[in-house]
Structure formats: C-alpha cells, structure tokens
Structure 1
Amino acid sequence: MAAARQRTAAAPEPCPGTEPGVHVFAKGGVPVLDWRENLEFDGRGALWVSHALKGVEGYRPDGTRFATMPVPSPAGIRRGPDGAMYVNYGQIPVPHGSGIMKFDPAHPDRAPRKVVDGLLGINGLAIDGRGNFYLGREFAPTLLKLRPDGTEDKDWTAAADVFGTNGLALADGRLYAGISVHPRSPVEQVPLDDPAAHTRLADLSPSALGFKGLDDLTVVGGQVYAVAFGAGEIIRIDRASGESCVLVDGLPSPTSARAPLGFGDHDPENGLFVTEASGRILRIGPLH
C-alpha cells in the first residue's frame, strides 16, 4: 500500500518507522454503490457501519455480517453514554428527511427510531458524556450542538464559528473537527466549555495543490488520525504539537477510521479500522 504520491514540499511526510500493515476485514463491491461512510464499535463485540444505500450493518470480530438496519442514507455513527448507537440519517436527500436515529445494539430487533428530525446538511457526529450531540456540516458556517432532548444550544453553535466541518472526535474536553472544503485541509480544536476559543491544530495541505479532501477523524491517545478522502491517506497529528505525518497512503477514497474498542482480540491502542467508498473495511496496524 506504499503507493507513490504527489505532494508539495511542505505536505506531511511519511511517518517514521515501519509502515503499518493494511488488511482487508470485509471486501468491497461496486464503487460508490457500495459506499461505506462511517463506523463505530459498541464496546460489546460488534462493529456498526454506515452503508450509503443499505443502511447500518453489524459485523462480528471474525468479519461476518450479522445485521442490517433500515436507516436511510446514514452518515456519522457514534455510541452514546447510554450504550445506544446514534446515527445521522439523510446525508443524501431522501423522502424520509434527515436527522439522528438511535438503536439499542443489545436488543434483539435493534429497531432504529428517530431522535431528532429536520437537520439538513449534516455529516460528522460526536456525543459527549452528558449526551449532547455535535454535528459537522460541510457547507454551514458553524458546528451544530444539540442537547440530549434534541433542542439546539444556539449560544454554543453561534460561538463555534468553524465553517465546513466534516469529521468530529471528542477527547479531554475538546472537539476535533476536520474541514473538507478549505484549501489548506485544516483540523480545528474546539474547547467544549469555550467554543469561541477554537484554534487551528494543523494545516495538512499548506497549499491548494496538496488539497487532502478531509473526511472523518478519530483520537487515539495523544494522536488525531485524519482520513484524507481525496488523497487516499490516513494522517497522524500529534495533539500537543500539531506535527503531522502520513501513516498510510494509496487507499481508494477512505471515509472513516476508528479504534477497535471491545472487538475481540483487536488492540484499541494499536490499530484502526477504516471504511472506504470502495465498500471495503480495512484493518490497519500496528500503529507503533
């Protein structure tokens, strides 16, 4: 997977050390038609994947698919503090509208139900320990915060004036947000208790010629792992210094990455699972 790539002189260089292995966990299908957009582990032995056309799929650690739920055009999916799985729906306009659904992964029928409706243009999703929702919107002037009851926290939303966000991840009281539409492919860090004090963690393409096309991102320990859909890369960013490097390249349109929490014998501190628009689900590691 160490395919040659074009990059500007100031673009992130390959990470030092041995490049991690890239293994196919689930095969793809027809590109775009088999688009897998996002993923999340429930911590109880299952992986849940947003499939653009088929809904939300459930996988076991051995790679078998055991469930499919009818969620229309799903996007960001995250586990809530109550153990339920929450998923944005209606990323592509559908007759059912758009918003957030939830389902109980431990319930036999796992029937999804709407939590909130009428949220246009949403993609990335993060949920804090109190059950507040944070949503990325690629063509909106700010992040969106909803309270657990689905009402908007308008003051927080107005203060978090970061345009064009996609992937979101929470860690240590900060919301990390990848920006898809900016020519420098930045990642912002937004304090939850003071969103107006957001700062730039890193620019991943210091010129428009190296545009990354950022999609989702995740946090593992002291690192942010940003998924570059356009560049076919997984980029590692040090949370303390903002220094970045390319962990893996040559991937066909990766869309999301998550650490395998409670998923068989997979190490959540030393591996990632990655979805692609090709339909593949990959296992990447070791990370160090």
Structure 2
Amino acid sequence: MFVRQLAAIVALSCAGAGLALPAAAADPISTCAPARVTTALPAGTPVLDWAENVGYDRRGNLWVSRLYRNEVQRYDNTGKLTATVPVAFPGAVRLGPDGLLYVVYGDAPSSAVIPGGVLRFDPDAADPRPEVFASGFTMPNGAAFDSAGNLYVAATGSGVIRIGRDGVLDKDWTARAAGTGANGIVVRGEMIYLTSNGNPLGRVLSFSIAAPEHRTVLADLSTSLGIPDFADDLHVDGDGVLYVTTVSGQLVRIDPASGGVCTVLSTEPMTAVVAVPGRTDELLAGTEAGGVLRIRLAR
C-alpha cells in the first residue's frame, strides 16, 4: 500500500501539460447496470499477497503479479498454483506477439534509484527463466502491445515509453509522450488509453499513436463522495468501451464514443482488470487484499 500511496502523493504534486479540458468534473459517478462479482482466487496474506496485476498466457493460464512477494505466479484453470517466477516489484503482465510473457519490474519508488524495466520469459516452461527485454525506467507500471508488436509502458515518473519488437527504445516517440502520473495503459487500433494520477488524480486520457503529444481527457474519476479517486488499471473491449479500476473499489465504464461514464461495481480496492479469454461479458480484477475477482457484466 505504501507504493500506491506514495505514487498518489507524488502525482498530485506534479502538474500536467498540454491536455484538453476535462470532460467530467469531480462529481459522484452515476450507477449503470450493475455487475455480479464472485471470487476467482481467494485473498491471501494482507499486503504481502497484494495482486498488482493479472494477465493470461496463450494456454489460458492466469498470471498474477505479487508486488511485495517480488514474483509473478501462474495458476491453471482450476486455480492451482503451478509456477512462480522471481520479478522485483512486478507490475503489468502481458502476452507478447511472440508467445512470450512480458512483465514490468521496478514498480516501486526505489526504481528512481534502481531503474525498472521489462522482463520476458516462456510462460509454457516448467521453470520459466526471465531475461531483461528493456530497462532504465522510473516506476513503470502498465504495459500494452499494439498490432505491430511495439510495447508501450506507462511509467509514473516519465510518461509512456515505446519499445520496438527488438527491445530498442523509440526515443523520439517517447519524448513526445512524456509526462507524470502515467499508470495503466491499453491500445485499441491506433488509439491509446491511459490512466493518469498526476494533475488531477483519477484522470483517464486518450490519444493516437501518431500524435502522443495531443491528448483528450475522457473523464476525471471521483468517489461516491465526489473526492478524486486513484485510477489504476483499465481494459478496452471489442466495442471500444473502457473498464477502469480504482483504489476506492469502483469499476467504472467509459464509452469514448458517447462520453458516458458510470460505475458498474463498487467493492474492495481493485488494482488491475483483464478480459477472460473467450468471454465478452466476463472480467477478472486483481485486488489489494490479494484475491482475484470474477466480474460478470450485465448485457
């Protein structure tokens, strides 16, 4: 919890630049058709089992980033733990176009001194051995691939980082996408969607891959009391609708096309969200308590 609290404090002290006016004020978010929630994986030891991120490999195994255990864990479809891989302060865990699993490391304030980066390994191996894919980032957290295989990493201290399939940093593009407070990131087609906890807290942004310096504010999220919320991870579905997790425990639905923003679930603090393979109405969400929630969306 220290990491997230410190990130929020640092982000609040930093001013954003070059952003469009917000589409929503810090008012309570309306409620839309509610989702149903059950437990996919039970909570573990408080703090120690914090589930920072979740993702699937190509075989349908679930991977969970255990931030304070300094490892990512593999679970089969019965919920059985089948492998652990050492990763220092792991963040996003994403399947790459090459079938390897890419995991952000250094998702902690210490990465300002000891830089973070991205590891990759074969998720099918009985004993996966990670190798460094890219490094030198300040508190990286979110990650997403585009259709060409470029990897985008959201780093709290520097903005969005673009890395080619060869592991080489695209310095020009990355400089254009600089900023503070970047957290979760997803890519759909030629658009990037980003959660940012800089100025203000709980902002959700969109911008095109071609013009990362020109950003549009989709929403400024708030709690039920109208207090700015911490926007964590996000998922985009096949229709282009976003689902954003927050520290107050909201799952917020944002439709960039219509501008609609509403809460589909209010529960415990959630850290990350991913679609269940083969399902259009089901998501999994990681939690600060260490459990993983199964969320069935209303259709």
TM tier, smaller: 0.7 to 0.9
1:257 to 267, 273, 277: 273
Q: Give the gaps of 5 or more residues in structure 2.
A: 1-24
Deviations 1:77-115 (A, max 9, x none): 111111111001121337985211001112332211111
How far apart are the structure 1 equivalents of 2:266 and 2:225? 19
- Read off the aligned partner of 2:57 and give its amino acid letter: D
Unaligned residue ranges in structure 1 (runs of 5+): 1-7, 262-266
* Aligned amino acid, residue 69 of structure 1: V
CA shift digits 1:52-83 (9 cap, x unpaired)? 13301111122111111111211111111111
Match among 101, 108, 112 for residue 130 of structure 2:
112
In structure 1, which of residues 248, 273, 281 is the aligned counterpart of residue 284 of structure 2? 273
Is this contact kept in 1: 2:26–2:226, CA < 8 A?
no
Distance 2:90 2:190 in 1: 27
Q: Match of 1:135, as an amino acid?
A: V
Work out whether residues 160 and 198 of structure 1, in 8 Å CA contact, stay in contact via their aligned partners in 2.
no
1:122 to 113, 134, 140: 140
Describe the SS at the equivalent of 1:158.
Answer: helix
Moved more, 117-126 or 275-284: 117-126
Residues 160, 190 of structure 1: 8 Å contact kept: no
Deviation for aligned residue 1:169: 0.5
Confirm or deny: 8 A CA contact 1:166 1:179 kept in the other structure.
yes
The normalised TM-score by structure 1 is 0.87
User: In the alignment, which of 40, 44, 48 is matched to residue 25 of structure 1?
Assistant: 40
Instruction: Determine the C-alpha separation between the residues in 2 that align with 1:137 and 1:102.
Output: 18
- What letter corresponds to residue 29 of structure 2 in structure 1? P
Match of 1:62 in 2: 78
Deviates more, 1:267-276 or 1:191-200: 191-200
Provide the residue aligned with 1:134 in structure 2. Answer: 152
Contact 1:202–1:243 at 8 Å: present in 2 too?
A: no
- Aligned-residue Cα RMSD (Å) equals 2.3
Give the CA deviation at 1:188.
0.8
Q: Deviations over 1:192-230 (max 9, x none)?
A: 12222321222223999521101111111221001111x
Partners in 2 of 1:166 and 1:67 — Cα distance? 27
Alpha carbons of 1:269 and 1:181: their partners in 2 closer, same or farther (altered >3 Å)? same
Q: Does 1:34 align with 2:49?
A: yes
Residues 201 and 230 of structure 2 are in contact (CA less than 8 Å); yes or no, is this contact kept in structure 1?
A: no
Rounded to whole Å, the distance in 1 between the matches of 2:45 and 2:283 is 23
In the alignment, the residues of structure 1 paired with residue 84 and residue 95 of structure 2 have an alpha-carbon distance, to the nearest angstrom, of 17
